[in-house]
């Protein structure tokens, strides 16, 4: 079975042969992304990363499209990649690097990016901006529900924060204040 498709015996044999010659893979290493990084990109949006596996002859085809999320999560956790969003001012927020992140937290979109270890280290070492905080956060009660209001954030980032709860939610609020 590939994805949600059932395969006949001949198709299974064909897929097994493609797996055997590494033309199709069930998972990939973050090293593969680093080695095949497009030289024109400092940031590579996660949608383009996923699409590259279906378009580039340098990359294998994937049995499971979720493997891209798992690869990004592993690369971020082990410090090979950083997972970032970009603010209107060109800053990275969120900036997740060398921290454990689950594949479920990785969003495949044009608004979220991966950057290399070298770019992440350079960003961390850059002097802080003199502009002050990049966002204002307010927690309000509306019908018993807690809401987080942010300025200068993408709609997808707001949706992800809205899904958070407990300690992680409080940590994210603290990070942006």
Digit-coded pLDDT (tens) for 63-121 = 788 899 999 999 999 999 999 999 988 899 999 999 999 999 999 999 999 999 999 99
Average pLDDT value for residue range 120-145? 61
Tell whether 76 is covered by a domain.
yes
Is 153's pLDDT higher than 60? Answer: no
Does 113 share its domain with 137?
Answer: no
Q: Global pTM?
A: 0.62
Asked, for residue 65, whether it belongs to a domain, the answer is yes
* Residue-number span of the structural domain to which 42 is assigned: 28-129
Give the per-residue pLDDT at 26. 65
Q: Tell me the per-residue pLDDT of 12-63, one tens digit each, with 9 for 90 and over.
A: 554 455 443 445 566 788 998 999 899 999 999 999 999 988 888 888 778 7
Of 46, 18, 56, the closest CA to residue 115 belongs to 46
Q: Is residue 51 included in any domain, yes or no? A: yes
Which residues are 92's β-sheet partners?
A: 86
Q: Both 93 and 155 in a single domain? A: no
Report the pLDDT value the prediction gives residue 136, as an integer from 0 to 100. Answer: 41
């Amino acid at each position: 079975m590939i994805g949600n498709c059932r395969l006949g015996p001949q198709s299974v044999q064909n897929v097994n042969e493609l797996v055997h010659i590494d033309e199709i893979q069930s998972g990939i290493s973050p090293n593969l992304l680093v080695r095949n990084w497009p030289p024109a990109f400092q940031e590579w949006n996660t949608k383009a990363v996923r699409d590259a596996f279906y378009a580039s002859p340098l990359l294998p085809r994937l049995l499971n499209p979720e493997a891209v999320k798992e690869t990004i999560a592993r690369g971020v956790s082990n410090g090979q990649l950083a997972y970032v969003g970009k603010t209107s001012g060109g800053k990275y927020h969120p900036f997740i690097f060398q921290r454990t992140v689950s594949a479920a937290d990785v969003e495949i979109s044009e608004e979220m990016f991966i950057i290399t270890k070298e770019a992440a280290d350079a960003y961390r070492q850059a002097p802080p901006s003199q502009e002050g905080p990049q966002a204002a956060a307010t927690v309000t009660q509306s019908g018993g529900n807690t809401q987080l209001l942010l300025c200068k954030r993408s709609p997808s980032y707001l949706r992800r924060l809205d899904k958070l709860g407990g300690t992680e939610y409080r940590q994210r609020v603290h990070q942006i204040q």
